[in-house]
A and B are shown apart, each in its own frame.
Chain A
């Protein structure tokens, strides 16, 4: 691991100032569950770490009012334990509690989790030791090097959103639920504060898969805001894994339904585990509008969600699995909290 300096400023302004002063090798660190992991693999090689966890007032959780608000430094476990969310927004709670282990959820923050990097095996390996260096090229790790996953073991790779340069899956659960629920991201940088939809944090891989986020240099995530909606009562985060617990998604679906009796008035659908970024499925939402939720309607919406999916060598199963995951999630969400 490359040597680095470490600072723990106590205000956002001091953190940004330290980041700017440190130059190109600077990285912010919060829980560290992704960054420190990747530093051990030599995928990340920062020379200055600016720890943001001493900044006060960024860990508040507010679930009353028109916007649910989560300070960026709130631990994933603390948000998952919120009683109001457990009752009224199962999609958010399940996305958090089905991610990682309780140990990691105690460490990881809801802001930092949005910036988790891919678990693509070719991205993670190949940088750590001399014997594997340059054996598995990765455009995300080393721009222009090539992509070993395209003709490699691609069982875990994306079927939606991929480019010739990269088919790495966006690993998160929480970002998928937030994108489904129209969440906003609050940012602070040298130029001041701004708010963007969480969906706009993520860049498609295109020709530049090493550029994953739309954050500006030195910007920090300060908070997440989710519009309050009664659709939360009829919601779920449905996650299909190779094992029952503590694994990344093969396919997942965040679904929330605004129901009028049993008729869908508004639908929120997003997918995880199958795409290069948290994937909002507008076609699936459209397929549900004005409909009574039945298995046939749910299946049709599931197929619509995977429109345009393209399989590689070993990941074709994700297209069918993704469609069925969405369909099941719709049925689970509709059955929640019957009137």
Chain B
């Protein structure tokens, strides 16, 4: 997570004293994000929010509990990218058709662009930034490198999050099944051969 004292885009984030005290008693760091109606409008048009259209949600994102005030129109993708500076998940089509925004919600892959942030209260979200443990790469990230499974890289975070889920679901049994269960992730560069090889390698317990 971005250092809230570092300035720049992170100046959106301010630690709320009460939340920090709560967090200090437990393990997780709680962040309260300063809203301001203008920032809540990331992709929601210019009009000001009438009463009842803002709300506070308390999701756990990449293992961190947080409290965020949102405009009800906000997508999970816009919450991640525009408010939390988690720009790994990408906005490709914004209509659930390309898979670039794929994240895990309570362990299952979803299209974050078609997920209302309002639904995230009490839910656990994992993005590409939270996939690896420690400073190393997740085996799927390493396999994408080893198998040259990308060109421009724009779809890659979504591909990797979908791929990890594909293996976990038990759908990476053979190349045909991998292709079928990865069909929601479009790669405009056409790196599909490498993507399938990377997933097959991880599913078979080897990396290269």
Q: Could you list which residues of chain A lie within 8 angstroms of chain B, going by C-beta atoms?
A: 1, 3-6, 8, 29, 32-33, 36-37, 39-40, 49, 51, 53, 77, 100-104, 106-107, 244-246
Indicate if the CB atoms of A32 and B115 lie closer than 8 Å.
yes
Closest to A102 in B: B181
A8 to B181, alpha carbons, bound, how many Å? 31
Asked whether A245 lies within 8 Å of B180 as measured between CB atoms, the reply is yes
Residues of chain B within 8 A of A77, CB atoms compared:
108
Verify A104–B114 contact, CB threshold 8 A: yes
Query: How many A-B contacts at CB < 8 Å in the complex?
Result: 93
Would B118 and A6 count as touching, CB distance under 8 A? Answer: yes
A1 engages B73 (CB within 8 Å): yes
Partner of B165 from A8, A51, A102 at Cβ < 8 Å: A102
Q: In the bound complex, how far is the Cα of B108 from the Cα of A101, in angstroms?
A: 13
Distance A77 CA – B111 CA, assembled complex (angstroms): 14
Q: Do A36 and B116 touch (CB < 8 A)?
A: yes
Q: Are B95 and A37 in contact (CB under 8 A)?
A: yes
Of the residues A6, A107, A246, contact of B115 by C-beta under 8 Å: A107
Tell me the nearest residue of chain B to A48, going by C-beta: B52
Could you tell me the distance between the alpha carbons of A216 and B50 in the complex, rounded to whole angstroms? 29
Residues of B within 8 A of A102 (CB): 109, 162, 165-166, 169, 171, 181, 184
| Residues from 86 to 141 in B contacting A, C-beta threshold 8 Å | 94-96, 99, 102, 105, 108-111, 114-116, 118-119, 121
Q: Interface 1/0s, chain B 23-52, versus A by CB < 8 A?
A: 000000000000000000000110101101
- Judge whether A103 and B184 touch: CB under 8 Å: yes
Instruction: Tell me the bound Cα distance from A280 to B35 in angstroms.
Output: 52
**Residues of B close to A5: CB separation below 8 A:** 52-53, 72
Smallest Cβ-Cβ distance to A29: which chain B residue: B116
B184 touches A246 (CB 8 A): yes
